[in-house]
Amino acid sequence: MKTIFDREIRQLLISRLENINATKKAKWGKMNVQQMLKHNTYWNEWIQGKGNHVYKQSFMGKIFGNIALRKLIKDENL
């Protein structure tokens, strides 16, 4: 499984983050740099339990959430 605790993966992420600037165009998605950073900051605060973030899971998310989560966190080496 890829993890930021692996030195090579961490270096790859750092190099990608260093290349971000306001003039770069998104390769996919519609967010600009400011929106992306706000999105990531909000997510990190929510995961760390900081701030007053509220998450309400939709009905479809409740049904398919566990299936998707298992696929996302499976061991890539298997």
Which tens digit of pLDDT belongs to each residue from 38-56? 888 888 888 788 878 777 7
CA distance 75 to 63: 23
**Against a cut of 0.85, is the pTM above it?**
no
Mean pLDDT (the chain) is 81
- In sequence order, what are the residues at sequence separation of 6 or more whose Cβ sits closer than 8 angstroms to the Cβ of residue 21? 33
pLDDT at 40: 84
pLDDT, mean of residues 53-76? 77
